[in-house]
Amino acid sequence: MISIIIPCYNEEEAIPLFYKEINKTIKEMKVPFELIFVNDGSKDRTLEILRGLAKKDKKVRYISFSRNFGKEAGILAGFEAAKGDYVAMMDVDLQDPPYLLKEMYETLQDENVDCVATRSVSRNGYSFFRKIFTKWYYKIINTISKTPIVDGARDFRLMKRKMVDAILSLKEYNRYSKGIFSWVGFNTKWITFENTERVAGTTKWNFWKLFAYSMESIIGFSTMPLLVSSVVGVLFCLISFIMIIVIITKTLTIGDPVAGWPSLVCIIFFVSGVQLFCLGIIGQYLAKTYLEVKNRPVYIIKETENDL
């Protein structure tokens, strides 16, 4: 059986379109399916639509959260609920084309392949700003993190049970799926496709949300920023040491009329800035650690198809 996890947040318009498309693929494939929709605290009619689908179609299951917990929480809930031998995850907005599932499933019949993942080659529909930001983000994270993050990788992928169990064994609270998929290893085959615009509704990500998400992934998968702040500290100590020697020699040889107040102020400002910046980096890691040790559940379920 193939389980498909579909996180949904305010997707009343997209769900019926998605359901129609995926059913076409399911009919062609002749493999048992289960569709696990995760309602991530939607404020529109998403839940009603899901209830309706689950009532009339036995392969439709749904998990409804008590509030919006974010897409990562939705993905985890789906993974935990999935019963299939193969598990896929995809967006409901048809930006991940369902017809690819067939090719992905066939590729997985090769016993050396554990996962088939997709990446989009183009960034159609991205704003100019987002394109530049995305490009730099991948450059930076791949330089500083040991876990490779593939440029343009989408969350759309199909994997075998073994890999799913490995992913579920990672119990962290701050979850970044792209990193987790890469971290667990296994043999992943990539297929590419052209990015398309969503069929209905609007994107749930604005620039700041994306920015915060990317920062989270850097903190989650690299401790390099901490190293950078230590290096900056050492560098500043060296510079100040050289300056001390220069000033002492200057005073002893040519004497020192009191001067240099403006430069002193500049240096104080600069150095305190660097200090605060480095403290901020430590603070970010501390904050994540704090959230991690609190050990709160990643999501809370309010209703599932069993409550119908």
Interface positions with Mg ion (CB under 5 A): 91, 93, 95, 198
Applying CB under 6 A, does 130 fall inside the site for ligand UDP? Answer: no
Tokens at 142, concatenated: 């791949």
Backbone angles phi, psi at 303, to 5 degrees: -155, 145
Q: How far is the CB of 155 from ligand UDP (least distance, A)?
A: 8
CB atoms within 10 A of CB 84: 20
CA 221 – CA 141 distance, rounded (Å)? 8
Applying CB under 6 A, does 205 fall inside the site for ligand UDP? Answer: yes
Find all residues with CB under 8 Å of 30, minimum gap 6, and list them.
none
Binding mask 2-41 for ligand UDP (x = CB under 6 A): -----xxx-x----------------------------x-
Applying CB under 6 A, does 66 fall inside the site for ligand UDP? Answer: no
Binders of ligand UDP in range 70-109 (CB under 6 A): 70-71, 74, 91-93, 95
Q: How far is the CB of 198 from Mg ion (least distance, A)?
A: 5
Nearer of residues 207 and 269 to ligand UDP, judged by Cβ: 207
Backbone angles phi, psi at 202, to 5 degrees: -125, 160
Q: Which does 225 bind (CB under 5 to 8 A by kind): ligand UDP, Mg ion, none?
A: none
Find all residues with CB under 8 Å of 257, minimum gap 6, and list them.
none
Applying CB under 6 A, does 161 fall inside the site for ligand UDP? Answer: no
Applying CB under 6 A, does 195 fall inside the site for ligand UDP? Answer: no
Given a contact cutoff of 8 angstroms between Cβ atoms, the answer to whether 120 and 91 are in contact is no
Nearer of residues 72 and 93 to Mg ion, judged by Cβ: 93
Query: Half-sphere exposure of residue 98, counting CA atoms within 13 Å on the CB side?
Result: 22
Looking up tokens 């554990």 gives 114
What letter represents residue 21's amino acid? E
**Residues in touch with ligand UDP (CB under 6 A):** 7-9, 11, 40, 68, 70-71, 74, 91-93, 95, 198, 203-205
